Amino acid sequence: FDGSFIFPECILIFGLILLLIIDLTSDQKDIPWLYFISSTSLVMSITTLLFRW
């Protein structure tokens, strides 16, 4: 068992927590950064999984 296998999931969880914090603290309803952060964390997670595979 290697602890680094959970790293791609941690990227997604960190991205979701960041989205939640930004959404709760901002007054705007539609923030373009939310789309950028979610897509970036998804691409980083997929890239990490592909390089480990």
Chain-centroid distance, C-alpha 10: 8
Residue 7 pLDDT: 83
- In the chain, where are the structural domains located? 8-51
Per-residue model confidence (pLDDT) at position 17: 94
With tokens 């930004």, the residue in question is 22
Q: What is the pTM of this model?
A: 0.75
Q: Is the pLDDT of residue 2 over 70?
A: no
What pLDDT was estimated at residue 3? Answer: 56
pLDDT digits (tens, 9 = 90+) for 11-51: 999 999 999 998 888 888 777 888 898 999 999 999 998 88
At 8, list the tokens: 């791609």
Range list of H helices, the chain: 7-25, 32-52
